Chain A
Amino acid sequence: MAHVEPLTRAGTTHDLTGRVGRIGSGSAMLVLGILALAGLIGLILKVMSGPVPLNKWGYTAAALAFLLSTGQGMPVVAFATRLAKGYWALPLRRAAELGAVTGLVTTPLFIVLLFQLPDFFGRPSIWFDWPGGPVLWDSVAMILLTFTGLAMLFVSSRPDRALSTQQASDWPGTGRQWDVLTAGLVVLGAFYLMMLVFVHMYVVSDLGMSLVLGWRSAIIPPYHAVSGLQAGLATTLLVCGALRRFGGLRRYFGLDVFWGASKLLLGLSLLFFYFTWSELLTNWYGRTADEQFLLDLFMFGPYTALFISSVLLNFALPLALLIWNPIRVSVRGPIFVAGLILLGNLIDRLRIFVASWSVAGPLGPHRTFAPPAQYPDALDLLVFVGAVSAVTFLYLLALRFVPPIAIWEFKTGLLLTAERPYLKTEVAVVAKPQ
């Protein structure tokens, strides 16, 4: 085994600034750019064919919800671990914050989808016929979310950019600047979390619940948000795994990162089950005509396979794997589980949005039977692949300008941890200043 030098502050700065612009090959970015362009063409073709029949938008809505849950859920991981002073998460915070670039894809996609919605006047919705709802206010919320995410990334990367460009004249790092930076990150993070929760509510309510007459489940917005945070953490872990494997950052993404994240992932998987169970059991016992229809549409009818797969991938398998120490306390175990959750989230979003748009239409009598399952066509696949490629492309592009790890935070971590003698051994001591 090659000898590995312990990480020092100076060595870290030199190593990480040297990596700016070196992650992600040009050819991969070219392929991703072409796929993103193809997706855009697919979306334009869809829009040009008109909004009806409404059921053709189900897969696009699912793609939007999937990206909102995964990419835009990532910055919350950075904020939450910063707030809880979780030192294990220091290396993954930048990777998480970079997820904010997803907003550049989801915002236009959301606006396009909002214009395909049927007339909302008199329809059960969170807007109660309020002027501007849903199109204007949903768009404003999504734009604010995207803007806040990018602002968080901008503020957090400010010291690192000053380091990597060797031009510290505009950001010399005075005490006041550091105070503003740390306080600003907390405020921006809190606002981002609040906006994310709101946007989850708008997306699932306006692109899902309002389209299905009789569906008024109050747990669905928190369910969508919690499963979104679960997927956001899973995506962050996968990105960290990729950076560790292909970005040459093995020294930084140690066992602690994956072990710490795996505990959170386990907790969020349990919450996924809890929320699903609460929805299922209340409808099961209620058994009103509307509830029987909802059970048929979302769980035990044409999309049974999706429902079962979603529960397996988001809850059963993560639980069965992560309760074992050898899997949880490893690098590959949490990454594998994160992969399962990502797939599970996609399936769950397909279940919710494809089913919802399949019964969308003008206001009328409540339905009693679910229509048959709907499969994607070529344009649906093109839009989905294009949207995911566009996000990946933007992520890699952002990595050309900022270091993959927040150098200043990582160095703070080095300052505040030390080895100290304890009885006959040495132990790690972690300092937690106010």
Chain B
Amino acid sequence: MKEWRELSSSKINDDLLKFPLHTPMWFWYALAGLGLVVGAGFLAFAIMIGGGLQFLGYNNQTMWAVLITNFVFWIGISHAGVMISAILRLTQAEWRRPVTRASEILTVFSLATAMLMPIIHSGRPWRTLYWEFPFDFSRGIFMDIRSALVWDPSAIFTYLLSSVMFVYVALVPDLAVARDRSSGIARYLYAILAMGFQGTKRQWRLQAIAGILLSALILPVFVSVHSIVSWDFAMALVPGWHSTVFPPYFVIGAVHSGVSAVATLMAILRWIFHLDDYLTDDHFDALGRLLVVVSTTWLYFFGMDFYYGLFARDEMELGIWSLRLFTPPYNTLFPIFLLAGYLIPVPLWLIRGVRRNVKAMFFTSLLVNVGMWIERYMLIVPPLSNKQAFPFDWVTVYQPQPIEWVLVVFTFGVVSTGILVFAKLFPIIPLFDIKEGQNLRRVIQVGRRTVPGVVRE
């Protein structure tokens, strides 16, 4: 890390607990604005419960579209937390320290939002309970355990629970600091959540072990979640979906999308909370480098899906790729997704100056997620819209309806509200991790130059 700033323990406490312990006026305006967006989404949901799925653009062939795209997209974003936190912690990457908490929180709220989508998509949310839980043993009625309706919730719940535990374990020392620096009801609540953490040697040891164990245990869960989501498609015999490469392709796409979302979030946090001392240009540089590797791997898997779709010269597969590449509106979306998801941001990230420019990183990472949302849409809709063997299956092109766009915006509103409220209640950058990083810093003299170094853990 080039940009080293000596930060005292008290400065770290002051800076990072400022927002949780003091409420600025803009917080209420932001909350109200986001509340309106979330409210609009719930209103749309209520209209659909009253009137059914007729408000969506579905037809007798294309019955998975924007809502399922939202589901896959937010599951993808949720991969940010583990990628940044668990993998970088296990590999002892120093630059992870200020980035971990926000990415873990992004995971939690993205997952919760993703779970809402299939429930809304079902049209009759209360009936989903019958699909998930055994409800009548006496008559031998049991849910179909081979169904994606059981796999998906099981995997996502497991991931959500482990992510919450992951966040909480890392939060305990910071809660204790917040407890010691607050008063009244806030102090009481922080004290309960801190579970008596006093920073004894044994408590630190347990906290460190729990963090490492959870990092290792959450990795298979992280891979399994998006693999299972990909199998929702790959297990079907729908041409364009039935592909063996879908699991790794979805996972790496999720990581691409998730890490980009972390970069976007970091830029926003730095601007809103004036965290220039903590989220330095070095951190954006490191995220940019990581993104170059991740996005290129994603492009490779996309290439495999494309190439081996054409490989067998199967009429249906060729038809779907023809639809994606040459038929409106997909022929417009396809270049947009490729340009936004890879061709514009990645060459820019190869330039050091761009990686170290927060504004540039903000816009390029945002662009990636525009591209990745369209990518999910292109994966899901064209295979269902392809002309089938029987004329009665020849349908008009699926057109997303206004209510579906409201629900897209709603998902962003839910995630943003969640992160904002969390940042209000708890430090969004881990205090103890930053202090530990400060403690481990050393320099080495090489000839006439002083090179920054770090104690090997």
Contacts and interface: CB of A to CB of B under 8 A. Distances in A.
Interface residues of B, number: 38
Contacts of B169: none
B300 to A, nearest CB: 7
Nearest to B453: A431
A218 B442 contact: no
Contacts of B246: 278, 282
A222 B245 contact: yes
A281 B314 CA distance: 22
Interface in B1-40: 1-2
A422 interface: yes
A373 interface: no
A422 B439 CA distance: 9
Nearest to A284: B235
A219 B237 contact: no
A140 interface: no
B348 to A, nearest CB: 18
B223 interface: yes
A288 interface: yes
A274 B230 CA distance: 13
Nearest to A412: B446
A235 B4 CA distance: 40
B251 to A, nearest CB: 9
Interface stretch (B66-74, B100-108, B303-311, B399-407): B303-311
B301 interface: yes
Contact of A282 (B244, B313, B446, B452): B244
Given A218-B244, A416-B444, A433-B451, A428 B307 contact: no
B413 interface: no
B247 A278 contact: yes
Contacts of A428: 455-456
Nearest to B223: A274
Interface in B37-67: none
Given A429-B456, A430-B456, A415 B446 contact: yes
Interface in B304-336: 304-305, 307-314
A110 B443 CA distance: 51
Interface in B408-457: 442-444, 446, 451-456
A418 B453 CA distance: 10
B182 interface: no
Contacts of B456: 427-430
B190 interface: no
B452 A431 contact: yes
Interface stretch (A44-52, A122-130, A352-360): A122-130
Contact of A125 (B223, B304, B311, B454): B311
A429 B454 contact: yes
Contacts of A58: none
Contact of A124 (B2, B300, B313, B446): B313
A177 interface: no
B25 to A, nearest CB: 41
Nearest to B90: A263
B183 to A, nearest CB: 34
B245 A219 contact: yes
A420 B244 CA distance: 51
Nearest to B305: A218
Nearest to A417: B444
A283 B446 CA distance: 57
Contacts of B309: 218
B455 A416 contact: no
Give chain B's interface secondary structure class: mixed
B248 A222 contact: yes
B244 A279 contact: yes
B175 interface: no
Contacts of A279: 244
Interface string B164-206: 0000000000000000000000000000000000000000000
B286 to A, nearest CB: 11
A429 B444 contact: yes
A14 interface: no
B391 to A, nearest CB: 25
A209 B311 CA distance: 10
B234 interface: yes
B231 interface: yes
Interface in B235-249: 235, 237, 242-248
Contacts of A427: 455-456
B257 interface: no
A429 B313 contact: no
Nearest to B314: A216
Interface string A391-434: 00000000000000000000000011110101000011111111
A133 to B, nearest CB: 13
Interface in B89-118: none
Given A124-B312, A416-B453, A430-B454, A275 B248 contact: yes
B236 to A, nearest CB: 9
A270 B216 CA distance: 13
A386 interface: no
B442 A126 contact: no
B365 interface: no
Contacts of A420: 442, 455
B280 interface: no
A269 B78 CA distance: 25
B227 interface: yes
A217 B243 CA distance: 7
A217 B451 CA distance: 49
Interface in B289-309: 300-301, 304-305, 307-309
A285 interface: yes
A429 B446 contact: no
B446 A278 contact: no
A217 B244 contact: yes
A283 B455 contact: no
Nearest to B237: A286
A218 B234 CA distance: 12
Given A216-B311, A222-B300, A222-B301, A429 B248 contact: no
Nearest to B445: A418
B455 A429 contact: yes
A429 B242 contact: no
A197 interface: yes
A218 B455 contact: no
A430 B227 CA distance: 37
A344 interface: no
Given A416-B451, A429-B444, A430-B454, A124 B311 contact: yes
Contacts of A422: 455
A196 to B, nearest CB: 12
A221 interface: yes
Contacts of A415: 446
Most-contacted residue by chain B among A418, A422, A429 (CB, 10 A): A429
A420 B454 CA distance: 10
Given A218-B243, A282-B244, A283-B244, 4 more contacts: A216-B311, A219-B243, A415-B446, A418-B444
Interface of B: 1-2, 220, 223, 227, 231, 234-235, 237, 242-248, 300-301, 304-305, 307-314, 442-444, 446, 451-456
5 contacts: A216-B312, A278-B247, A286-B242, A428-B455, A431-B444
Closest 7 CB pairs of A and B: A218-B308, A431-B453, A218-B245, A431-B451, A219-B244, A431-B444, A216-B312
